[in-house]
């Protein structure tokens, strides 16, 4: 039995159908009533659970041999996932597959990269079988400013011509499904990216072609960009982390591309154009 946490989120909701296709026995943590229905629609067993209520994790992990560990980025993340790893060890789980982030490091200026480094170290030392997946930025994050893109035909950013190996969350899910259902990944860390390194102006150009409209990438100074994020209600830790991340992309430090998706699935990772085509309607009014 595989326990999937984060099952109703961006990666988890793509993972459940792949595991179902593979005939895996899956239990998934439901954080809400709506989540239960989404989980059961994929033929998985839904179990109520909350990372902040350890007893629910104990119940959810009982009888599971593998766990997919994912929780949302937050200052509480490291504490939550460290505890979940300990509970997995006590429950006799054989293998934990943890979703981390590319660039996870204790001295990163990005909060989420420091929290993932803490979680990854804890997992490596926990005495439980494990595999760590470190994805690049999700293409799906580009859906967040879609209202502005639709209203203004403008996409504001601060990455200049810096490129990044953005990955479709469906490909992260495909790699996770492979690792969860095959052997030979013990102790491995996989850096998972899309097939190409692409800049925001290039992404905007591809979106323009796909929707037959004009999406202009507008580069703004870091201070103004951060003020916009704060104005949109993002907490300080997230605004600061994103500014640090986009600064790193701008400086060319996030352009790495790997072939882990192809190694795991036997086909190349989905290119940005395919993501744009799959989400044409979301951007279409631009
Ligand atoms: N976005 C990126 O570009 C990027 C890049 C690399 C790595 N990552 C990492 O990816 C992870 C986020 O993945 P995602 O985007 O798939 O997540 P997501 O869409 O935010 O989904 C989070 C999932 O966790 C559940 N959840 C939230 N709070 C919970 C709690 N207290 N107890 C139990 N479950 C809870 C949510 O359920 P409900 O919806 O029902 O609350 C949902 O299923 C983070 O670790 C992040 O650091 C992100």
pLDDT tens string 109-137: 999 999 999 999 999 999 999 999 999 99
Q: CA separation (Å) from 246 to 159, 172, 208, 259?
A: 5, 21, 22, 23
Q: What is the mean pLDDT of the chain?
A: 96
Express as a percent the part of the chain with pLDDT over 70.
Answer: 99
User: Ligand 1 test: best mutation among 14, 67, 71, most atoms within 8 Å of CB?
Assistant: 71
- Give the distance (Å) from ligand 1 centre to CA of residue 72: 3
Mean pLDDT across 29-56: 96
Query: Among 3, 4, 5, 6, which is best to mutate for testing ligand 1, by the most ligand atoms less than 8 A from CB?
Result: 6
pLDDT band at 163 (very low <50, low <70, confident <90, very high): very high
Q: Which CATH superfamily is domain 2-135 in?
A: NAD(P)-binding Rossmann-like Domain (3.40.50.720)
CA of 171 to the centre of ligand 1 (A): 16
> What's the mean pLDDT in 15-34?
97
Q: What is the mean pLDDT of residues 167-178?
A: 98
Q: 145 pLDDT band (50/70/90 cuts)?
A: confident
Q: What is the mean pLDDT of residues 200-222?
A: 95
What is residue 286's predicted lDDT score, i.e. its pLDDT?
45
Residue 30 alpha carbon, nearest atom of ligand 1: 40
| 69 or 283, greater pLDDT | 69
Question: 12: CA distance to ligand 1 center in Å?
Answer: 8
* pLDDT: which is higher, 93 or 214: 93
> What is the CATH T-level fold of the domain 139-166+194-255+271-286, as seen in this structure?
UDP-galactose 4-epimerase; domain 1 (3.90.25)
CA–centroid distance, residue 95 to ligand 1 (Å): 20
Distance CA 40, CA 46 (A): 6
Give the CA angle between residues 257, 258, 260 to the nearest 5°. Answer: 150
CATH 3.90.25.10 domain locations along the chain: 139-166+194-255+271-286
Give start-end residues of each CATH 3.40.50.720 domain in the chain.
2-135
CA of 77 to the centre of ligand 1 (A): 10
């Amino acid at each position: 039995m595989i326990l999937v946490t984060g099952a109703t989120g961006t990666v988890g909701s793509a993972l459940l159908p792949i595991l179902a296709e593979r005939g895996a026995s899956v239990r998934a943590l439901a954080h809400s009533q709506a989540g239960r229905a989404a989980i059961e629609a994929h033929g998985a067993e839904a179990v109520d659970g909350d990372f902040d209520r350890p007893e629910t994790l104990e119940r959810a992990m009982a009888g599971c041999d593998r766990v997919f560990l994912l929780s949302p980025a937050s200052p509480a993340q490291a504490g939550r996932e460290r505890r979940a790893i300990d509970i997995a060890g006590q429950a006799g789980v054989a293998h934990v597959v943890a979703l981390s982030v590319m660039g996870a490091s204790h001295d990163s200026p990005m909060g989420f990269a420091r929290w993932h480094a803490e979680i990854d170290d804890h997992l490596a030392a926990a005495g439980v079988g494990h595999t760590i997946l470190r994805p690049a930025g999700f293409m799906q994050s580009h859906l967040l400013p879609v209202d502005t893109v639709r209203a203004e035909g403008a996409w504001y950013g601060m990455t200049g011509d810096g490129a990044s190996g953005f990955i479709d969350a469906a490909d992260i899910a495909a790699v996770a499904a492979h690792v969860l259902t095959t052997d030979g990944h013990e102790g491995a860390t996989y850096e998972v990216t899309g097939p190409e390194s692409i800049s925001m102006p290039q992404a905007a150009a591809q979106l323009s072609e796909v929707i037959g409209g004009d999406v202009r990438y507008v580069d703004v100074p870091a201070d103004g960009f951060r003020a916009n994020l704060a104005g949109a209600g993002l907490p300080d830790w997230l605004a600061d982390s994103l500014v640090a991340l986009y600064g790193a992309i701008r400086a060319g430090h996030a352009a790495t591309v790997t072939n882990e998706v192809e190694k795991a699935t036997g086909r190349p990772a989905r290119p940005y154009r395919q993501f744009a085509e799959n989400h044409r309607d979301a951007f279409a009014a631009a």
